[in-house]
Structure 1
Amino acid sequence: MLRKLLFQYQDKRQLVIAVIGAFLGMTFLITSIHYLIKVNDFGKGAEILGPNTVIVQKKVSSFNTLNLAKTDFSLSEIEEMKKKPFILDVQPVESNNFNITIETADPSVPRFRGDIFIQTVDPDFLDINLTDFHWKDGDTLVPILMPRDLLVMMNMFMSSKNMPQISDELAMDIKFKFALISDTGKQYISCKIIGFSNDMPSVLVPQNFMTWANNRFAPNTEQKITQIMISGKENEFGLVEHMLQEKHLESKNAQVAIGRLKSTVGTLILVVLGISVIAVFLSGLVLIQYLQLLLSKNLYEVRTLMRLGHHPNSLVKNFFVYFSKVFGVIGMLSLASFIGFKLFLDSLLKDGGLYIDTSLSVLSILALVFAYSLFALASYLSARKGIYEQNNG
């Protein structure tokens, strides 16, 4: 009876406009939050490098060939790049100053031997579990991260000998050993593959092992920094790329492409997110304004009901329940629309070769719940204030 008296005979055009605006705003809000998270997570776990990280070196020109220009980095150059506002960190990539080979040391597989070079990077740049990637003086086994190109080369060797090729899992079970070579002799040490990388062109070893090996097998050789790792801020990779061009630095194309893609898409999604927040906020204001308009049009009814013995809280409850149902319908429609958009966009991205995680983002659902709670609270407070003012009046 109260619901018919207060709501049934009101002009609902403003309510319909607000509901449509809130529905569109909420749909784009949770969609943009979902894809902002998924795009930022793109590539994680697939490579060993952390997000928005590239390995760079100076471009080689004719001047380098004639020894008129250097390809190594000075500490002052590294510190200068660290000061850029769009840079999170810059660290050198340390390489071996001695000769080293790797070969199989497993009787169950054919003997394979090859000259390699090893490198080490700051652990903060690695997106792997570092529990197994450590070494100390006295350890008899060195954990290594192998470039996938080296495994491909091994399989080509196996194929040429009409031998079974090696999978990732099998390679991680095979025993290998390093031969560390200096002017005074050679030392063998066992090593084990714990992962692979498409990013690094070299075999990665723990920092402690590199320091120990360089000090022991090349104690008088100066360590030159020919490569550095740069970690840029999210959505600002374009500034990182511009800096690389200015300083005549180059990186692996795949790393740059992924960084550029994430930065560009992330920026576009942030724009959509901002517009969605504004749309939801304005729609919420219109809905609250509609509630206040209902109160102003029903002043006589509200006062009469309170004189007849209806407690103000029961009237507040009616307004609160009514608008909670309105917000609930908006939320359910927005969620259904989001799922439809998601299925369409996931298929579109997959066809375009962008394979992102297709699971639902918890944060986007929490955003929907938060927006619903905020709307409901605003309607309750607004109704309570309006009704109690009439009661006090």
Structure 2
Amino acid sequence: MSDEPSGLAAVLTAAERASPVKSVDVVAGYLEERFAASDVSFLLVDLLGRELVRFTTHGKSLRGEDAERLDLAGSVYERVLSSQEPHREHRDQWHVVVPVTNRGDPVGLLEMTLPDLDDSALEQIREVALALAYLIVTDRRFTDLYQWGERTTQVSLAAEIQHQLLPTAACCEADQFTVACALVPADNVGGDTYDYALGHDTLNLSITDAVGHDVQSGLVATLLLGALRGARRANQSLADQAAAADQAVREHAKTPYATGQLFRIELADGRADVVNAGHPLPLLLRDGTVRELPLHRDTPFGTGLQEKPREVQSVDLRPGDRLFLLTDGMLEREAASVDLRRLALETAGRHPRAVVQTLTSAVVDAAGGRPKDDACVICLDWHGTTAKGDSDTFVR
């Protein structure tokens, strides 16, 4: 064995010397040299969540017909993404697929063929996949390469605006919580957005729905999220964040109307401050029962009808709770036929990543594949740090 760094360190060291568009090449070269791997590729899930796009090595184009596309449903790739466990199968050689995931957010898959494989080698390959996840998350700042790969369908201008507003990761895991988010349809959304941010002591969540289904709604959403993030990053209270959002929409939007829900959760004990600006009520799954959180609804942002500051309510989360934040696209029109409470119970044992996919897929299917309204959902699993009482008092 040489004295060169191995695994994560070796890949990261090599990547620092390469172009941001060469990360897959760097990883493939390392695997070829260390494990005699062949046919190494990275598989990226497309924007609609239905197909995989294969990134091969040595600069193969991802545009148009040059990009190999694979159906995700029912495939071994879907199982690896869902379970986050590697797949290995011995044919003439070993066929290996491992998840490429960053802090709980699935970035894609790493696939290869190997002449030999044992548990130690598989563990090292998983370490390399972790390195690739960090590289791709970093590379996205410098290239459109991965955005090209994701776009297997035409994306409207309004949808492009919306996707630029969303967090770069749709899922995040920490000791106290797991959060996963989804927005559909991905190629022609209107005004729905989600956001989250983790601080030293708090987790901030927001879900918003700007009126309309065109570029104007995207502009309203931009104002809304810009104001919320600016106030949050200035460490303002939840009430002041809501006031900033209200002022921004009222003063600058041509169609000043948006609903929204803001959560600020204390990581130490699960106590959450909540503002509800005319938004659909969240669902709470606790002890095998799904209930609406009985929040007071203030007026939507931008209406000018709120005569006093919005009410900041308190919700106590307990370890084991699962919380759903929803926009009206998950509840109305074609989506009204979807029994979200039943689906919440049926998926209670699944990871929030899989849960939001199940819920949004049900809404899209109910609309015959083309919903007339966009739909957004956040699923939060609260793990907690200390045991809570048995009180069923949800809101104070």
In the superposition, the TM-score normalised over structure 2's length comes to 0.21
Bigger share in strand: 2
Bigger share in helix: 1
> Larger radius of gyration, structure 1 or 2?
1
In the superposition, the TM-score normalised over structure 1's length comes to 0.21
